[in-house]
Homo-oligomer: A and B are copies of this chain.
Amino acid sequence: MARKPTASASATSEVESKSARTRQRILDAAAHVLSVKGFAGTRLSDVAEFAQLQAPAIYYYFSSREDLIEEVMFCGISDMRSHLQEALDALPDGTSPLDRIMTAVEAHLRHELELSDYATASIRNSGQIPEHLRSRERKESAAYGRIWQRLFDDAAADGEMRADLDPRIVQGLVLGALNWAAEWWDPRRGSLDSIVANAQGLVRSGITPVAAASARRKRAPRAST
């Protein structure tokens, strides 16, 4: 289900028809161009070049440029959401809200920075795309936001978040810190692990009440890969 710009094979459909693979190549190319050039700057000719075919061939798989972009945007957020959901589902029952947030932080960062094209395309262009292309994306985006909302609400309810913090605002700030990482993180100048660790550390102690901080603190759960 997941569309991946790199070469990682999604478990579900090993052997796809040639047609499906071409379609995928176009989507991947579009995600890449979209993430770099932005909505208005994404030309079909560039997408085609990246996908190694001629521009008119795109119309065999997508009915229009907008249709193609819409799908990229949807996939970007949709894949992100399922990736996060899977990571959270994999946690043992009874995992504390704060630890669940740690897992979410890691999942978001890894997905964004490892498979960045779709995610960054989706992230960077959410404000530039015409409304009528965002109905599916908006739904997913809202759902994705709700997952995080729940995480912070639970943390607040369990007394794992300081009372002077507003869960909604904190959520915005934390997601911003994570989303923005794609803008500056350079894999050659620092491991992904280190940025994950720093983000988790920053968020954990940024959120945790003073007393609570020393009280618990077992160990961060391993999230998904």
Query: A interface vs B, CB < 8 Å?
Result: 36-42, 102, 106, 110, 124-128, 162, 164-166, 168-170, 172-181, 183-185, 190, 193-208, 210-211, 213-214, 216-225
Nearest Cβ in chain B — how far from A4, in angstroms?
19
* Contact call A180/B172, Cβ cutoff below 8 A: yes
Q: Pick from B165, B180, B197, B222: contact of A175, CB below 8 A.
A: B180
Nearest Cβ in chain B — how far from A21, in angstroms?
23
A219 proximity list for chain B (CB < 8 A): 221
Given known contacts A162-B201, A173-B178, what 5 new A-B pairs fall within 8 Å (CB)? A38-B38, A126-B183, A173-B199, A197-B223, A214-B217
Q: Is the interface of A mostly helix, strand, loop or mixed?
A: helix
Query: Would you list the 5 A-B pairs with minimal beta carbon distance, nearest first?
Result: A176-B180, A206-B206, A40-B41, A201-B220, A214-B216
A-B residue pairs in contact (CB < 8 Å), sample of 15: A38-B41, A38-B125, A41-B41, A164-B198, A168-B190, A169-B190, A169-B198, A175-B180, A176-B179, A176-B183, A193-B224, A201-B220, A202-B207, A205-B220, A213-B213
